[in-house]
Amino acid sequence: MKTLFAIAALSLASIASAQGPAQTQAPSATVGTASLTVRFEQLVAPSGQIMMSLFDSEAAHDAGGKPIRAEMIKVEGTSAMVTFTGLAPGRYAIKTFHDVDGNGQMKTNPFGMPLEPFAFSNGAKPQGGPALWQAASFDVPAGASETRISFQ
């Protein structure tokens, strides 16, 4: 069990190691482009930053691969928001944590269990580690769309 939580913490901590926005995915000329607004709600503290990664494949999401986009969103209140543009319509998933102390790292206890709030898209719950693609992924159609993520 300790190992599973350590894996979860490392996976979430990898969000913090992304150097600015990850690679931008070029939309196909024959497929419309999409934008995705992510609203973060129920923040536990009006400080720090939200560290998040956006994935476009099960392989990258579940195996700790590189996200297509990564963002740090400054927290100033009880909610925060970020919008991704230029996405190809398709299936995506988000891993995120609220870096309350703003040090850029997921705080964990001696057993590797996260001490800062974390969440996954689609309201997916962790099961001995980060939520899996099957539970966290959602469709992003052409045009503008929105998803909400609540920290609990």
pLDDT tens digits for 54-98?
A: 999 999 999 989 999 999 999 988 889 999 999 999 999 999 999
Nearest to 90 by CA among 66, 51, 55: 55
Q: Which residue has the tokens 């476009």?
A: 56
pLDDT, mean over the chain:
83
The pLDDT score that the predictor gives to residue 96 is 95
- pLDDT given for residue 74 in this prediction: 94
Q: Given a cut of 70, is residue 16 above it in pLDDT?
A: no
3-state secondary structure of 124: coil
How far, in Å, CA of 107 to CA of 30, rounded? 44
Per-residue confidence (pLDDT) for residue 6, from 0 to 100: 38
Mean pLDDT of 21-33: 49
Domains of the chain plus CATH, in order, are: 2-19+34-150 (2.60.40)
SS3 for 26? Answer: coil
Q: Among the listed ranges 11-20, 21-30, 37-46, 100-109, which one has the minimum average pLDDT value?
A: 21-30
Distance between CA atoms of residues 70 and 13, nearest Å? 12
Reported as a pLDDT band with limits 50, 70 and 90, residue 31 is: low
- The tokens for 145 are 């769309």
pLDDT at 115: 93
pLDDT of residue 1: 41
* 10 pLDDT tier (thresholds 50, 70, 90): very low
Instruction: Say if residues 104 and 12 touch (Cβ distance below 8 Å).
Output: no
- Which token pair is 106? 């997921």
Q: What is the model's pTM?
A: 0.81
Distance of alpha carbon 33 from alpha carbon 55, whole angstroms:
16
Q: Which is more confidently placed, 32 or 1?
A: 32
